[in-house]
Chain A
Amino acid sequence: MSATRQRRCTNSEEGVALLIAISALLLISVVAISLIIAAGMETSLSGNYRSSTSAYYAARAGLEEGRGRLLPRNPDYFNATSPAFIPAALTLHDVRYVTNPTGAENVLTAYPDTEYDTEFGAGSLAGATVKTIASISPVAGIAGALYKWVRINPITEKSINLDVNGDHVEDPTTLLFFDGQHLNLTATGQQALEVTSLAVLPNGTQKILQYVVAPVILSLNFPAAVTAVGNYTGATSFGNQSAGFGISGTDFCNPASQQYAVAGTSPASVTNLSAKLTPAGNYPGTGGSAGPPATASVGSNAAAMQNFPDPLHPGQMLDLTTIAGLNQLVSEIQSSADYTMTDCSNTSNLGSASSPTVVMVTGNCSLSGNPSPPGSGILLVQGDVQYVDHPYDGLILAIGTGAFQQSASRLTHFYGSLVLAQTVNPSTHAPLGTPGTPTLSWLAGTGNPNLQYDSCLVANAQPTITYKPLSFREISQ
C-alpha cells in the first residue's frame, strides 16, 4: 500500500516536469518556425528580384556579343572566326546562333528556340538554314555571362508583327531593310537583322531580349575627282599645266558615269579654277566630249556641299561650305576613326582594299611608294598632304591647311576622291572664319591622268562603323 503511494508520488512529479518542458519547447518551436518561414519569404522575394535582374543583364550581354561581332572591325568578327558565317545579305530563314553552353550541354536542344516559330509561324525553324558559332564569353575556362544562345536572322513584317509600309498586310516573306531612317520592304539601304538572346540562370529564371539592328555606314560621297571647298582665289597653285598632268572625273570603275574633274563651291571659285586648269583637254569628265574636251570639266557642286548628308545623323544635313560644317565633319570622322596619328609614318595603319581603314592624321602626312596593294580607306589629314607614286586609293580629305602636294617629280597616281578645304591659316594654324583657298601643287605631270575619280574605291572605303539598335524589347514568356 505504501509502496504504491510512493510510486504514484514519484510518477506525479515526473509528469509535471515533462509537461512544463514540452509546453516551453512547443512555444519556442512555434516562434522559431514562424521566424524561419518569414525569413524564407524575405529570401525568396529578394532572390526573385536578384534572379530577374541577373537574367536581364545576362541576356543583354548576349545581345551585345551578337551585335558587336557583326561588325567587321571587331577582332572577333563572325566572318573572321568562321568565313562566310554572315553573308553580305541573309535570305529568309537563314538563322545563325551563337551558343554559350555550360559544360557539354547542347543549348539548342536543352533550351529550344520556340520564339522563332512564334515570330515566323509554326515549323519555320525546322525548315531554316541554321549555322552555329561558339560564344567568346567564356575565357580560358572561366565561365562568361549566363546566356545560352543568341540568334541572328533577317526579319519580315510578320515576324516583328508590325505593318511597316502601311498596306494593312503583314508580309511574311519580304525581308526588311533600313534606309538610315526607316525600315522598308523595298530593299533600300542595309539589311535589318534581329538579334535575340536567351538567358537561363542555374535556378531556372529565363529571359529573352531582342534587338532589331542595322549597319551604319560612314557614308561620304563627293562626286568629283577633286573637290575644292571654299573660296579659291587663284592665289595658290592648282594642278599643273604640263601635258603629262591630268585630273579625270570619268568614273574609273564605271566609265559611263561622268563627274566633274574639279568641283568648286562658289561661282568665283569655279571661274578662278577654270583659269588654272589648262590645257582643258587634261581635265575630262562631265561636260566633256568623247575626245579631248574643249573646256576643262570644272563645275560647282555648291548645292550638294551645302546640303551634305550628315554621315552619323541620318536625316540631318551639314553645310560643308562653312567652317562649322567642316569642323563637324572632321569630328564625326575622328569619332569613327580606326587610328588617329600625328603623321603617316606608320603605313601599316593605312589599310588595303580588302580591309580599308579610317585614319585621322592631326599633322602633315607624307605618303610615297608603290605598295601592293595600295593603302585604302578614308584618310583625313589636318596638315599638308605630301604625295608621290601610288601609295593610296579611296578618299583623302585634306581639311585643315587644305594642301595636297606632289612631293617629287615621279609617276604619281591616286584613284578615288580628293577633298581640299582650308579651315585654318596654314602658317599660324589659327582658325579661319570662312574656308580659305586650297592648294593642289604638282611638280611634274607624268602618267596622265594622275588623279581619277573611282566610285567603287570610294564605296569600298566607307566602313560599317556600328550596328545600330533600331529597337529593343523584352519578350514576355
Chain B
Amino acid sequence: MSDPRTIKRQAGFSLLELLVAAAMFLIVAGTAFTLLGAAQKRYQTDSQILASFQEARLGLDQIVRDVNDSGYPPPNHFSVLPAANLYAATPFAGSPSAACFIGTTCASPQDFDLIIETNLDPSSSPNVQWVRYQLPAGSTTLMRGVTNKVAMDPVAATSAAGVMVPYVQNVMNNATAGQISAIRAVYPTMFPGGAPVPIFAYTCETSGTTPLSCPTAGAFNTPQNILDVEITLIVQATAVDAQTGLPRLVELHGRGHRLNPNQ
C-alpha cells in the first residue's frame, strides 16, 4: 500500500496522456466521419440518379414491347371485317388519318408522339386498344395512355381527361434552347447541332426489299408502313452531381420492330 511504484501504476494515465489520446481519437474519428458523410451524400444523390435512369430504362422497355406487339389482330385474320374496334386497321394509328405523311401532315405519329394500335390481351377483351406515348410541347414528362379503340380520331380519344398519365419524368429530348446549351456545356456530344432529339424515329416498309427511313420513303411514308421505331430517351436526374454540382444525364436507345403485317 505504501509502495510508491504500486501507487504510480494505479494512478493510470496522466492528464496529458489522456488529452493526447483524446485528440488523436478526435482527429481519426473526425476524418472517418467526414469521409463517411461525403460518401453518404454521394450515395444519396447517386441513388436518386440511378432511380431516374432505372425509370427511364423500364419506360424504354415497355415502349419497345408495345411496338413489337403492335397491330394485333391484323385485318388479314378476317374474311368479313368486324366492327372497327375489333381489329387493328394499322399497327400504328395515324391522325388525322392513317394515310397522312409522317413529318408533314401527321399530327401523330411524329417525333414526340406515337399511338400503337393493338389488342394487349385478346383473352380478356376483344376490343383493340390505343397505347399512346407523348411528350407534350414544353414539357419534360413523357406521358403514356391506354384507351379502347373507338370510332373517333385516336389523338382526340387519347386526349380525353384521365387517359394520359405521367410515365417517365425529366425527359429532355425536346428541351428549350437554353437547357440544351447548358447540357451541351457538360455533355458536348449530346444534342448534335443543338437541336432537340426526336424520341421516335421511324423506318418504313416499302415495296422494295429494303426498308427506308420514313421521310425518304415517298408514298410509303405513312403510319401503316412503319416497320421499326427507334427510340431515344434523354433523361436528366433530379439531383445534380454531389461533387461538381453539374446536371447528370443519360441517353438510352432502343428499337421496336413490328412483326404483324401492315394491312
**Which residues of A pack against B, CB within 8 Å?**
2, 5-6, 9, 13, 20, 24, 27-28, 31, 35, 38, 42, 45-46, 49, 52-53, 56, 118, 160-167, 178-179, 181-186, 211-212, 313, 335, 468-476
User: Do B122 and A335 touch across chains, with their CB atoms under 8 A apart?
Assistant: no
**Complex-state Cα separation, A45 to B53, whole angstroms:** 11
**Complex-state Cα separation, A313 to B261, whole angstroms:** 12
Contacts of A42 in B (CB 8 A): 50, 54
**Complex-state Cα separation, A149 to B138, whole angstroms:** 49
Given contacts A163-B82, A166-B78, A476-B121, contact A31 B73 (CB under 8 A): no
Tell me the minimal C-beta distance from A319 to chain B in angstroms.
15
User: Do B47 and A118 touch across chains, with their CB atoms under 8 A apart?
Assistant: no
User: Do A6 and B79 touch across chains, with their CB atoms under 8 A apart?
Assistant: no
Q: Is B77 an interface residue (CB 8 A)?
A: yes
User: Do A471 and B72 touch across chains, with their CB atoms under 8 A apart?
Assistant: yes
Contacts of A118 in B (CB 8 A): 123
Tell me the minimal C-beta distance from A277 to chain B in angstroms.
39
**Which residues of B pack against A, CB within 8 Å?**
1, 10, 12, 25, 29, 32, 36, 39-40, 43, 47, 50, 54, 57-58, 61, 65, 68-69, 71-82, 86, 119-123, 126, 207, 209, 259-261
User: Tally of A-B residue pairs with Cβ under 8 A?
Assistant: 110
Tell me the minimal C-beta distance from A273 to chain B in angstroms.
34
Nearest chain-B residue to A313 (Cβ)?
B207
Given contacts A161-B123, A182-B78, A183-B78, contact A474 B12 (CB under 8 A): no
User: Do B68 and A162 touch across chains, with their CB atoms under 8 A apart?
Assistant: no
**Complex-state Cα separation, A160 to B86, whole angstroms:** 13
CB contact between B78 and one of A5, A9, A161, A162 (< 8 Å): that residue: A162
CB contact between A6 and one of B10, B77, B78, B86 (< 8 Å): that residue: B10
Given contacts A166-B80, A469-B259, contact A53 B61 (CB under 8 A): yes
**Complex-state Cα separation, A399 to B146, whole angstroms:** 53
Further pairs besides A182-B78, A470-B77, A470-B261: 14, Cβ < 8 Å: A6-B10, A45-B58, A46-B57, A49-B58, A49-B61, A162-B73, A162-B122, A165-B78, A183-B76, A185-B79, A468-B261, A469-B259, A472-B69, A476-B120
**Complex-state Cα separation, A161 to B119, whole angstroms:** 12
Given contacts A31-B36, A49-B61, A473-B122, contact A335 B209 (CB under 8 A): yes
**Complex-state Cα separation, A167 to B82, whole angstroms:** 9
